[in-house]
Amino acid sequence: MARTKRHSTAQHSTTHSLGGDDHDKEAAAGTDDWPPAGYEELKNLEHPGRAGDPTSRECLMEEASSVASTLKCPCCESYLATNKAGASAANQPRESSDSAVILAQYSNEGGIQRDINLMDSLTEEAYLQAHPEARPARAFHVMCSEGDIAGMIDLLRDESEQGADVGSIVRYQDPLANMKSGLHLSVEKQQEEIVWTLLWLSSTLATESFPDLVRHAAEEFGLGRLSVQANEDIRGLRDCHGRTAETIAKQDPGVLSVLLEGGALTP
């Protein structure tokens, strides 16, 4: 499915540089991906002391793993990074991914935004290049955060038809987001409908414990419950701080107070 294969939490508008080079066009000729999203929007990577360098035309995302690890331009080998204090990485000890930034100028109809940091996008893309199976799971997380239940169901249905393990997508924990699961994210965003849907899919909560509205909606969507053992219950997943989704919900119950009072989020 196009959405699951290409969806990324990184904004495409900051992942492609302004180009027009013949070899780029030839590489994409005959595909539906030309021009790539954002191709005409990223104007210039700020090489330390070399703004306007023609190598700014490179699509860095294609070399994300190399750029994220070396902090060098894949074409001219110049250091791209500065540290967060603004010093050039070329004259500093090797930057860690936590302290390095790679700056670009972003141009759209609203004008030019300067010093956009590409490091997070590069780190994400490098991870996805090494773990392509995580793409649909990370797309699923975006939908959990945004409350896109129809998109979630479409994604899971498409992945199931392609033979993917739907349970692993539902219970995926993102190492780039503090090991949060979709349930953590939906609780943080107070997405009550998504929370109930995730509990329906991947918890041992008794069917009769779900509100009639939730059960009827599941039937309407043709959404069956996954076979889940106690140690696979999504409610038991902990983020990198040791928090379950219930722990987060208790900090700010909001619309989730009914679930908390009924013990629906308790592992």
Per-domain residue ranges for the chain? 45-84+97-125, 132-262
- pLDDT tens digits for 95-127? 445 668 888 777 777 777 788 888 888 888 899
The residue behind tokens 């700020």 is: 46
- Distance of alpha carbon 189 from its chain centroid, rounded? 15
pLDDT for position 116: 80
pLDDT for position 253: 96
Cis peptide bond upstream of 54, omega within 30? no
Phi, psi of 28 (to 5 degrees): -100, -5
Measured distance CA(45)–CA(59) in Å, rounded: 11
Phi, psi of 100 (to 5 degrees): -85, 145
Cite the beta strand spans of the chain per DSSP E.
42-45, 81-83, 100-108, 111-117
Topology of domain 132-262, per CATH?
Answer: 1.25.40
Q: Closest Cα partner for 240 from 157, 145, 176, 165?
A: 176
Tell me the pLDDT band of 71, cut-offs 50, 70 and 90. Answer: confident
Q: Closest Cα partner for 113 from 61, 41, 64?
A: 41
- Distance of alpha carbon 37 from its chain centroid, rounded? 17
Phi, psi of 117 (to 5 degrees): -85, 120
pLDDT for position 121: 85
The residue behind tokens 């013949």 is: 22
- pLDDT tens digits for 159-198? 999 999 999 999 999 999 999 999 999 999 999 999 999 9
pLDDT for position 32: 43
Tell me the pLDDT band of 19, cut-offs 50, 70 and 90. Answer: very low
Say whether pLDDT at 27 is over 60: no
Say whether pLDDT at 16 is over 60: no
Among the residue ranges 67-71, 87-91, 159-163, the one predicted with the least confidence is 87-91
CA angle 31/32/35 to nearest 5° reads 95
Q: Which residues contact 23 (CB under 8 A, 6 or more apart)?
A: none
Burial class (CB within 10 angstroms; exposed 0-12, middle 13-18, buried 19+) of 74: middle
The residue behind tokens 């509100």 is: 211
pLDDT for position 109: 78
User: Average pLDDT in the 217-241 region?
Assistant: 94
pLDDT for position 178: 96
User: Average pLDDT in the 124-140 region?
Assistant: 93
Q: Closest Cα partner for 228 from 173, 187, 167, 182?
A: 167
Greater pLDDT, 90 or 154: 154
User: Average pLDDT in the 240-250 region?
Assistant: 98
Element (H, E) at 3: helix 2-6
Tell me the pLDDT band of 59, cut-offs 50, 70 and 90. Answer: low
**Is this model's pTM higher than 0.75 or not?**
no
Length of the chain counted residue by residue: 267
Q: Which residues contact 255 (CB under 8 A, 6 or more apart)?
A: 190, 192
Q: What pairs with residue 111 in β-bridges?
A: 108
Greater pLDDT, 90 or 252: 252
Say whether pLDDT at 25 is over 60: no
